[in-house]
Amino acid sequence: MTIKYQDELSLAVQAARKAGRLIRDKLYRHRVTETKSCLSDLVTEVDREAEGCIVRLLKQYFPGHAIIGEEQQGNCTGEPGGNMTWYVDPLDGTTNFVFGVPFCAVSIALADHGVPVLGVVHDPLREETFTAVQGAGARLNGSTISADKSIATLERSLLVTGYPGNIANRPRMHQINYRHVIDCCNNLRALGSAALELAYVAGGRLTGFWEVSLRPWDVAAGMVLVQEAGGTVSNLVGQPLQIAEDVDIVATNGLIQQELLNCLSWRNELPTVGVS
């Protein structure tokens, strides 16, 4: 069977592994840490170097494609939502990287007319490469993977979440009653890399994931992985997930999707504060 986007997938894997070698070599040895939107939104020279090497490869082989990268140093081209758009997160888990916590990844996705169709999440510290192409399943280092279909209830589920790097988005995070979620599930984690957490849902290592106020490059690859592994992805009110400037996401093995949505009890509006 001929897999669509095979050339794009091969190049994305090559680019992710090349960036991954840079990340692995610079762990504990990076020199510059700066902030972006706030003190907790970090960036290093490794983020920028890794994005540069990925973007150069994509431009070389697919010059007509749009490229949207997290660091956006003038490397990115084209308009998002066109025929073909790449979403590049060169180092997802920068805070972990800065503090020496070995949990981060390279995330590269391709969207066709706004719909993610290809995803690569590469963990350079464990040499694990998760890949998926629309209609062709999900794989880890070439072997087929699937979401965990042995857990069908929230009380048995291992969940994972994350916290917005930009503190301005934290009021939205606080709409979730974390105590209620913890009481309803087996246990809750926050590992620090949305792309890798989504890959773990796809691989059956985690049962479900949610996070608010992410960016498209955080989730585009992971959502393809989860869907192709037989899981379910939606926004926080259960609607199909759209790749937009800001993304709220729930991803599970599929069996607990509605129960998790009910537990999160998401409201689209922020509560009124300071009004008597």
φ, ψ at 161 (rounded to 5°): -145, -175
Nearest CA to 157 out of 232, 260, 235 is that of: 260
- DSSP class of residue 261 equals H
Confirm if 131 and 144 have CB atoms less than 8 A apart: no
Distance CA 19, CA 46 (A): 9
Estimate to the nearest angstrom the gap between the alpha carbon of 155 and the chain centroid: 25
Distance CA 103, CA 97 (A): 7
- Residue numbering of the annotated binding site for Mg(2+): 70, 89, 91-92, 218
- Residue numbering of the annotated binding site: 70, 89, 91-92, 218
Confirm if 220 and 111 have CB atoms less than 8 A apart: yes
Nearest CA to 160 out of 188, 194, 184 is that of: 188
Give DSSP secondary structure letters for 14-51. HHHHHHHHHHHHHTTT---EEESSSTTSEEEHHHHHHH
